[in-house]
């Protein structure tokens, strides 16, 4: 048996055993507290069993315990890790089992009812088998949540053993994808269980050649030097008949360092055999009681030693016998775990003190919050939060680096996905490399500035959409007093229509993007308040109310700003003002002159200086074609040629082709193109300048100078209506009271644990001094 009976111990040994018993009890309580507090306490040392399917993991765990509790057989029989807190108790002639709280999966009623109460062994077995069947039909197949069982028994060692699901060796190929995914899931689960440095890894290998590192391959990814790994060769009784020569047995019992590194925990592997058969009263059962099962384990060890000696032709040494059999493995693990317990006691005491101080601070804070639940203090707290919230908003717009960019920042790609892109009718979009700071994760004012810069680049690079001959002819129409054509009016009609269709989508896109960026300021501000200790986590209703008021203000301000910009766009695309759309007459003349023949250019230049035509330049904008081809040419020739016959003929031809004839001549088409492009460019420049100015003035600035008053007004009106609507005082008082009671219980548990570990540490130190003396 792993632990001597109390009546056979000397006084010093009795005191040492008493200290160790207290130590196991304290560790069990520590583990339970860690489970209840989601791992707040330090995890205690434990033995984690790792092996492939059918390596005999569960059978070995049962043999170490001294009784059977799980279903053993081929395939996957363990789908959730089972944490067994074993405690030697000579007064328990049958296993006393308790399913600890935290073992349930989800919020199932069965789990809640079964947790944290004593259960019969049969009920434990039924529970484990039910969980395995449930997970077998579940899409995930496995669960990392442990089934935690505390067991006291006269044959139990003082150990904490975690039995993990068996590793899977899946065959390659597409048809085995399901099994391959399960293999990856189990391997990830096992890695998570053995990564803690205080755990002891019990690595099971079912092989007769140590060069085949099946389970070691997985274990060495976490423990490459095997310094905390105990290697066990299972099913020794089936391997002995496979050896034909004594030398093969020698190599198996003493693997060379080139195959198995000597840094292995325990120096050499252990070799075990577990008799097959189940305990029970049915006709299929082999053992009628756990006593028979334990005797069969002992007989199996003797048979293995005899078989090995027969194969070797010699007697096994004491060191070799100490590594054969379940009982020797159990003694080694128990002593190893005891040493780990004792070594970790001094480090646990300061950690428990740290957790105790943290819980005390939480309790003081909760007590203070309960005392602050009166009307005057709550109102002052709400006003304080309001001012702090506005301060953080202002800092985010001005620029700051306190909020982590990896959590709150957005690259241009993410911003486009969440806030929309700037795309026109042709779905044109600038590549990221053309945008400054595109790859940087920005927020606040920097993100606002980048969005506005992208808007300027995208809209500024837009060209006038193509114009068809059909559009020109349809735009000519009929005048109210004659049926001639007015190509300047035609160009204006086409230009304003193209501009309206092109720029209106960009206005809505900019509005949506900037609103999205401004709304992101709210959660970042709350985070900054939490970081600075200015946020009251228990007042979620107040936080949500302030955030909702800010979002409403941002939405209404954005809508008002967008309507202003729409009015400006409508006015710009409703009436063409040449001084606005063309900047000056010189620009217009430049476009007209580019389509006039060289010999006509001289006449046009000369005529442009005549006073009469100079005064009519604005009025002739609807017939600019006539100036270079007709009127201006004829005026010049009339001065130089008194007859003027040729000029009059040309004027008649010009009027016939440009005014009375609706056949679209190439010169007329080019002229319309030039006018449309000129007007479109003027509208674009005006749209860019006014839109950016209005968004800065009527969207950004109101957050600076109007938001504070609006939020304060919303807060004061809520005070007049009902204070409970802001703070949920009744519910808050109830939740704070519950939290206070939980913290008080937690503090008592930690205080009791700290006292226990302090007492244990003193006893162990006294024993150590005696032994040294």
Report the C-alpha gap between 428 and 506 in whole angstroms.
12
Q: Is 625 exposed, middle or buried (0-12, 13-18, 19+ CB in 10 A)?
A: buried
pLDDT over 70 at 409, yes or no: yes
Mean pLDDT of 715-727: 65
Q: What is the pLDDT of residues 633-677, one digit of tens each?
A: 444 444 444 445 566 665 556 555 555 566 667 777 887 888 888
- pLDDT beyond 50 at 526: yes
Q: For position 103, what pLDDT does the model report?
A: 54
Given a cut of 50, whether residue 355 has pLDDT beyond it is yes
> What pLDDT sits at residue 374?
67
Residue 446: per-residue pLDDT: 93
Among the residue ranges 181-195, 233-247, 282-296, 474-488, the one predicted with the least confidence is 474-488
Percentage of the chain exceeding pLDDT 90 = 18
* Confidence tier at 483 by pLDDT (50, 70, 90): confident
What pLDDT score does 725 carry? 59
What's the helix, strand, coil split of the chain in %, to 5?
Answer: 60, 5, 30
Is there a contact between 253 and 320 (Cβ–Cβ < 8 Å)? yes
Mean pLDDT score, 539-560: 86
Least confident of 544-548, 680-684, 751-755: 751-755
Assess whether pLDDT exceeds 50 at residue 118.
Answer: yes
Range from 61-65, 143-147, 562-566, 616-620 that averages highest in pLDDT:
562-566
The pLDDT tens digits of the residues spanning 79-104 come to: 788 888 887 777 888 888 888 755 55
Q: Which pLDDT band, with edges at 50, 70 and 90, does 444 fall under?
A: very high
pLDDT bin (cut points 50, 70, 90) of residue 168 is: confident
User: 538: closest CA among 719, 376, 726?
Assistant: 726
Least confident of 572-581, 638-647, 651-660, 717-726: 638-647
In the prediction, which pLDDT does 178 show? 80
pLDDT score of 550: 92
Measure the CA–CA gap between 517 and 453, rounded to whole angstroms: 14
In this prediction the pTM is 0.51
Residue 242 scores a pLDDT above 60: yes
At 64 the pLDDT is 86
Rounded CA separation 64/610 (Å): 116
Residue 320 has pLDDT above 70, yes or no: yes
DSSP state for residue 279 in the 8-state scheme: B
For the cut 60, the answer to whether the pLDDT of residue 378 exceeds it is yes
pLDDT at residue 449, as a whole number: 93
Q: Are strands 270-271 and 229-233 parallel, antiparallel or unpaired?
A: parallel
Which pLDDT belongs to residue 726?
62
Phi, psi of 375 (to 5 degrees): -60, -45
Q: In angstroms, rounded to a whole number, what is the distance separating the alpha carbons of residues 586 and 699?
A: 37
Cα 382 to chain center, whole Å? 32
Q: Is the pLDDT of residue 259 over 80?
A: no
The answer to whether residue 521 scores a pLDDT higher than 90 is yes
Q: What's 260's DSSP letter?
A: S
Residue that wins the pLDDT comparison between 579 and 143: 143
Mean confidence (pLDDT) of the chain: 77
- pLDDT in the model for residue 67: 82
Better pLDDT: 55 or 431: 55
**Which has the closest alpha carbon to 201: 333, 321, 81?**
333
pLDDT > 70? residue 77: no
Over range 143-148, report the average pLDDT. 81
**Is the pLDDT reported for residue 594 higher than 80?**
no
Q: What is the per-residue pLDDT for 408?
A: 92
Q: What is the pLDDT of residue 44?
A: 65
Strand, helix or coil for residue 211: coil
Closest C-alpha among 592, 641, 633, 590 to residue 613: 633
Average pLDDT, integer, range 706-715:
84
Among the ranges given (64-73, 241-250, 375-384, 496-505), the one the predictor scored with the smallest mean pLDDT = 64-73
* Cβ burial 637-652 (10 Å sphere, 16+ → b, else e): beeeeeeeeebeebbe
């Amino acid at each position: 048996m792993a632990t001597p009976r109390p009546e056979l111990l000397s006084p010093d040994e009795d005191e040492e055993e008493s200290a160790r018993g207290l130590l196991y009890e304290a560790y069990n309580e520590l583990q339970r507290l860690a489970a209840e507090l989601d791992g707040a306490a330090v995890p205690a040392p434990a033995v984690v069993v790792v092996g492939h399917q059918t390596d005999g993991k569960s059978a070995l765990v049962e043999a170490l315990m001294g009784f059977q509790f799980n279903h053993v057989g081929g395939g996957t029989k363990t789908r959730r890790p089972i944490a067994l807190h074993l405690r030697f108790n000579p007064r328990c002639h049958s296993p006393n089992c308790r399913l600890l709280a935290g073992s349930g999966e989800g919020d199932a009623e069965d789990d809640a009812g079964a947790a944290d109460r004593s259960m019969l062994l049969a009920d434990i077995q039924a529970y484990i088998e039910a969980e395995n069947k449930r997970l077998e039909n579940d899409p995930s197949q496995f669960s990392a949540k442990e089934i935690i069982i505390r067991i006291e028994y006269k044959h139990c060692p003082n150990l904490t053993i975690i039995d993990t699901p068996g590793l899977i060796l899946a065959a390659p190929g597409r048809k085995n994808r399901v099994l391959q995914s399960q293999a990856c899931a189990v391997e990830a689960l096992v890695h998570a269980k053995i990564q803690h440095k205080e755990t002891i890894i019990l690595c099971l290998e079912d092989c007769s050649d140590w060069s085949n590192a099946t389970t070691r391959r997985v274990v060495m990814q976490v423990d490459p030097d095997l310094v905390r790994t105990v290697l066990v060769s299972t099913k020794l009784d089936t391997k002995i008949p496979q050896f034909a020569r004594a030398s093969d047995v020698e190599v198996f019992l003493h693997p060379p360092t080139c195959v198995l590194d000597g840094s292995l925990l325990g120096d050499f592997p252990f070799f075990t055999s577990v008799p097959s058969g189940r305990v029970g009263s049915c006709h299929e059962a082999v053992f009628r009681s756990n006593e028979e099962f334990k005797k069969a384990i002992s007989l199996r060890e003797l048979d293995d030693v005899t078989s090995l000696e027969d194969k070797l032709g010699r007697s096994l040494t004491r060191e070799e016998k100490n590594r054969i059999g379940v009982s020797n493995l159990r003694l080694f693990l128990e002593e190893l775990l005891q040493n780990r317990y004792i070594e970790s006691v001094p480090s646990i005491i300061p950690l428990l003190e740290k957790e105790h101080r943290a819980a005390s601070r939480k309790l003081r804070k909760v007590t203070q919050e309960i005392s602050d639940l009166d009307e005057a203090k709550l109102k002052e707290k709400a006003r304080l939060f309001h001012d702090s919230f506005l301060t953080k908003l202002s800092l985010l717009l001005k620029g700051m680096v306190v909020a982590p960019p990896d959590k709150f920042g957005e690259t241009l790609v993410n911003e486009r996905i969440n806030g929309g892109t700037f795309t026109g009718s042709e779905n044109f979009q600038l590549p990221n490399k053309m945008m400054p700071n595109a790859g940087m994760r920005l927020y606040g004012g920097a993100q606002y500035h980048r969005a506005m810069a992208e808007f300027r680049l995208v809209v500024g690079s837009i060209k006038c959409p193509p114009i068809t001959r059909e559009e020109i002819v349809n735009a000519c129409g009929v005048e109210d007093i004659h049926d001639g054509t007015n190509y300047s009016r035609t160009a204006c009609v086409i230009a304003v229509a193209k501009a309206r269709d092109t720029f209106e989508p960009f206005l809505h896109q900019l509005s949506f993007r900037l609103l999205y960026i401004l709304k992101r300021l709210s959660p970042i501000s709350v985070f900054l308040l939490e970081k600075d200790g200015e946020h009251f986590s228990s007042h979620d209703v107040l936080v949500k109310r302030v955030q909702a008021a800010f979002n409403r203000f941002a939405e209404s301000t954005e809508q008002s700003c967008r309507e202003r910009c729409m009015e400006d766009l409508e006015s710009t695309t409703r009436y063409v003002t040449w001084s606005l759309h063309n900047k000056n007459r010189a620009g217009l003349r430049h476009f007209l002159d580019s389509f006039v023949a060289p010999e006509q250019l001289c006449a046009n230049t000369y005529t442009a200086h005549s006073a009469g035509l100079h005064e009519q330049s604005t009025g002739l904008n609807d017939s600019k074609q006539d100036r270079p081809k007709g009127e201006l040419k004829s005026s010049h020739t009339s001065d130089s040629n008194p007859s003027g016959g040729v000029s009059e003929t040309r004027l008649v031809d010009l009027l016939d082709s440009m005014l009375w004839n609706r056949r679209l001549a190439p010169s007329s088409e080019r002229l319309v193109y030039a006018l449309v492009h000129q007007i479109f460019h003027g509208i674009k420049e005006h749209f860019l300048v006014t839109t950016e100015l209005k968004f800065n003035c009527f969207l950004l600035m109101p957050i600076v100078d109007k938001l504070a008053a609006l939020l304060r007004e919303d807060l004061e009106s809520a005070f007049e209506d009902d204070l409970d609507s802001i703070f949920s005082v009744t519910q808050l008082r109830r939740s704070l009271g519950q939290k206070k009671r939980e913290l008080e219980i937690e503090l008592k548990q930690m205080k009791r644990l700290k006292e226990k570990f302090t007492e244990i540490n003193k006893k162990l130190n006294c024993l150590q001094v005696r032994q040294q003396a």
